[in-house]
Amino acid sequence: MAITDDVLVIGGGIAACTAALSAAETGARVRLLAHKKSTLRQASGLVDVLGYVDGDGPFSDPYAGLDSLPEDHPYHIAGEDGIREGLRIFDEAVGDAYQGGHTDANALVMTHGGTMKPTARYPESVAPGLTSSSGDMLLVGFEGLTDFDAPVAADHLTAAGVPFDVRGVTVGFPKSFRSDAKVTRFAKALDRDESVAGGTVRSVLADAVAAELDGETRVGFPAMLGDDHDEDVRDELADRLGVPVFEVPTGPPSLLGLKLEDMLFDALDEAGVRISSGNPAVDFEAADGRIETVLVDQKSRMTPYEADQIVLATGGLVGKGLDSDREHVTEPVFDCYVPHPEDRYEWSDPEAFGNHAFARFGVVPDDELRPTAEDGEPHFENLRAAGGVVGGADVAREKSASGVSLATGAVAGRLAGEEASQ
C-alpha cells in the first residue's frame, strides 16, 4: 500500500527542511523524503542572503541589491517577504545557537582561508571573531591539520585591511591521532577533556596558546572546539586565557554544518514532520497533469509514496539534484526541463572565477515555484521546487546560497501546504 501524506518534500538540505517546516505551519501532514546525507555537512554553517551582485559589494544590507538581480533570479519570485519568512523559520528552528537576527545588516564573518563573507546569520561560537568587531586577534592552527593555516589566514586578513592587528600561530594538539582522524575526533577529545601528558586536553591547549599571546584580546580556533559540550569547551578556554574565544568556519567535513543539520532535523521532529531517509526517489506516476505517486527504491523494491502536493528540493549540480554528462543537463526524478546551451563549451567561462553559465542551471519556476516545461507551462500542477534545483542564481558569486534555499523553501512549502488544505 502507498504511504500517503498531504505534502511530500523530497530532499534533505536546508531548502527541504525549510519547505517541510513551512508546510507544517499550515496544518498539513508533511513527510520529508531524504536520500543521502545532506550537503550541510560540506557547508560552513553560515547563512548568507546576498553579498554581491555583478561584482558590486559586499552589501551591508542584504536586501539592497535585490532589484539589481537578473529577472529570472528566484528572489524575484520569493520576494523580500519570502526571504524574511525563510529567515523567521530558520531563527525559530535554531534559537539562541545563531546570531544576526536582531538586525538587517550583514556581518563580515571570517572563513578558514582568511576571507570575509557577508553573512546574515552565524553560529554563536563565531560571533566574537567578526571582523566588524574591534580587538586584536590571534588565530591558532594545529600541526597536521591542513584545513586551517592560521598564519596564512592572518596574512589574508591583514592584506584585506581589517582595522585591527591579527597574527597566526600553529601549535600541536595536546593529543595525537591518526593522520586520517576526522574533525569530530578532536572535538570529542575536548568534549571529554581527555587526559594527556601534563594535564588534560583543555588545560594543556590553553597553556600552549597562552604562551603565544602577545596582547591580543580575542583568540580564534578552527571550528572543532567540542561537539556535545562545545559551549563548556569555549568557556573554559576563554577563562584560562582571559580573552574571548571564537571558532573559524572550516571546510568539509564541517562540524558547524553537522550541528546545523542536527538542529534542523530536531525542529522537524518537534513540528511533527515524518522523516523517511536512506532511499532515493527514482520514478513517478502521473495523470491529468498531476503527480499521483512517487516511487522510492528501497533495496530494489519500489515503494509508492502519495501526496496531494510535492516539493522538489534535491539540490543543484553539487547536491546531485541535477545530473549532467558531456551533452545534457537533466533533473533525474521528474525529468523537468533544465535549459542549457547545446555547446558544452558555453557552459563555463575561461576565467576560473568568471561568469559560469552552469552555476545558474536549474529548473525554470513559474510565479508559484512550479517547474515549467519549455513552453512555459507547469510540468505538473502539484509540483513545486526549492533550493539549488531552481535555476537563475549564481549563489557562489552572489553569496546567496542559504538565502535562496530559505526563501524558496519557505514559499514553496507554504503554497504546497495551503493548497493541500483546500
Q: Does 302 lie in the same domain as 339? A: yes
Domain boundary among 201, 226, 248: 248
* 175-212 pLDDT tens trace: 998 877 788 899 999 999 999 999 999 999 999 999 99
Is the preceding omega at residue 174 within 30 degrees of 0, hence cis? no
> Which of the listed residues 217, 248, 279 is the one where a domain comes to its end?
248
231 and 267 fall within a common domain: no
Q: How many CB atoms lie within 10 A of CB 241?
A: 19
Same domain, 278 and 197: no
Q: Are residues 415 and 319 in the same domain?
A: yes
Which H or E run contains 264? Answer: helix 255-270
Q: What is the mean pLDDT of residues 319-340?
A: 91
Residues 336 and 407 in one domain: yes
241 and 155 within one domain: yes
Residue 177's domain is classified under what CATH number?
3.40.50
pLDDT in tens, 357-416: 788 899 999 999 999 999 999 999 999 999 999 999 999 999 999 999 999 999 999 999
Distance CA 158, CA 207 (A): 26
Same domain, residue pair 291 and 410: yes
Domains of the chain: total: 2
Q: Is 99 helix (H, G, I), strand (E, B) or coil?
A: strand
Q: Do 153 and 238 have their domain in common? A: yes
pLDDT at 15: 97
Residue 417 CA neighbour count, 13 Å, CB half: 22
pLDDT tier for residue 353 given thresholds of 50, 70 and 90: low
The conformational region for residue 96 under phi > 0 = left, psi -120 to 50 = alpha, else beta, is: alpha
pLDDT confidence of residue 352: 62
Is 133 among the domain residues? yes
Tell me the average pLDDT of the chain.
Answer: 93
Percent of the chain with pLDDT over 70: 98
Q: Write down the pLDDT at residue 343.
A: 79
Residue type, 173: F
Query: If pLDDT is split at 50, 70 and 90, which confidence band does 1 have?
Result: low
* Domain that residue 164 falls in: 127-248
Which CATH number belongs to the domain containing residue 371 in this structure?
A: 3.50.50.60
Does residue 14 fall inside a structural domain? yes
Same domain (yes/no): 222, 285: no
Check residue 13 and give its pLDDT: 93
Q: Is the domain of 177 the same as that of 229? A: yes
Q: Does the residue 108 lie in any domain?
A: no
> Angle, to 10 degrees, between the axis of helix 75-94 and the axis of helix 14-25?
80
The single-letter DSSP state of residue 106 is: P
Residue 70, pLDDT > 90, answer yes
* Domain-located, residue 85: yes
Taking a C-beta distance cutoff of 8 angstroms, is the pair 283, 146 a contact?
A: no
Mean pLDDT of the region 59-82: 96
Cβ-defined contacts of 60-68 (< 8 Å, 24+): 60/105, 60/106, 60/118, 61/104, 61/105, 61/106, 62/104, 62/106, 62/118, 62/120, 62/403, 63/104
76 belongs to a structural domain: yes
- The string over 363-386, giving b where at least 16 C-beta atoms fall within 10 Å of a residue's C-beta and e elsewhere, is bbbeeebbbbeeeeebbbebbbbb
Residues 417 and 291 in one domain: yes
| Residue 357 placed within a domain | yes
Is 279 in the same domain as 243? Answer: no
What is the H or E stretch that residue 166 is in? Answer: strand 166-171
pLDDT for 10 beyond 70:
yes
Residue 303 class from Cβ within 10 Å (0-12 exposed, 13-18 middle, 19+ buried)? middle
Q: Which residue has the cell 550537503?
A: 39
Identify the domain boundary among 208, 226, 248: 248
pLDDT in tens, 94-143: 999 999 998 899 999 998 888 999 999 999 999 999 998 889 999 999 99
In a domain, 113, yes or no: no
CA angle 49, 388, 63 (to 5 degrees): 20
Looking at the domain assignment, is residue 121 inside a domain?
Answer: no
Output the pLDDT for position 37: 66
Enter the pTM of the model: 0.94
In this predicted structure, which of 198-202, 250-254, 323-327, 394-398 has the lowest mean pLDDT?
Answer: 250-254
Sign of CA dihedral 21, 23, 29, 31: negative
Confidence band, pLDDT 50/70/90 cuts, at residue 272: very high
- φ, ψ of residue 359 to 5 degrees: the values are -65, -20
